[in-house]
Amino acid sequence: MIPELTFGAQDVRILHDEKVFSGHFSVRRLTLQHRCFGGGWSRPLVRELFERGDAVGVLPYDPVTDRVVLIEQFRPGAIRNDDSPWMLELVAGVVEAGEDDAQVAHREAMEEAGCELAELRPIATVLPSAGACSEQVRLFCGRVSHAGAGGIHGLADEGEDILVHSVPRQEALALLARDRVPNGHTLIALQWLQIHGAALRESWS
């Protein structure tokens, strides 16, 4: 039996909310209390919260060729010792004011990978690091209706330098077994495709 969550939004008190940094991203400092499992309320806690906006990620999949599109790009947060800070990822972008998730998915698929998508299938909604970041990411699989032949994509004015890979589905899934997918969003999307890929291909073909 799946347990119900014990508490909800009404079980948090925001005592003070201050923006302490504003740049490409922003940081808020919250003073808060929350209900405790043993009863009563926590002492006032001070927590910094990283604000980067919500995002949409989409894994482009072509059921005709049975291939997925993955992009490769530099990520400063992945600079760790001798590990490569370039990562294989799904397509993703921040939700701008007035946009819905489908608009973001279609826009980013074209900007980052040169792909046109005909249909979106929801995968999951995730909070990548809820202990420190407010970002929510909505993940989709997108049926490719047209795709360019790889190449380099991205918006120069946003500093994007993106290499596009078209990978057979089974080869993409083999990356999971070799621990070659350190990006959480991509890991979730490929695991979903591992479960649903055969049925999805039949449905979309």
d(CA 69, CA 57): 12
The whole-angstrom distance between residue 49's C-alpha and the CA centroid of its chain comes to 18
Can you read off the two tokens belonging to residue 23?
A: 């740049």
User: What length does the chain have?
Assistant: 205
Q: Please confirm, yes or no, whether 158 is among the known catalytic residues.
A: yes
Which is catalytic among the residues 108, 158, 160, 202? 158
d(CA 141, CA 60): 6
User: Alpha-carbon torsion 78, 100, 91, 169, what sign?
Assistant: positive
β-partners of residue 69 are 166
Phi, then psi, of 182 in degrees rounded to 5: -80, -10
Residues 47-50: contacts with CB within 8 Å, 24+ apart? Answer: 48/20, 48/132, 49/132, 49/133, 49/134, 50/25, 50/129, 50/132, 50/133, 50/134, 50/135
Active site residues: 158
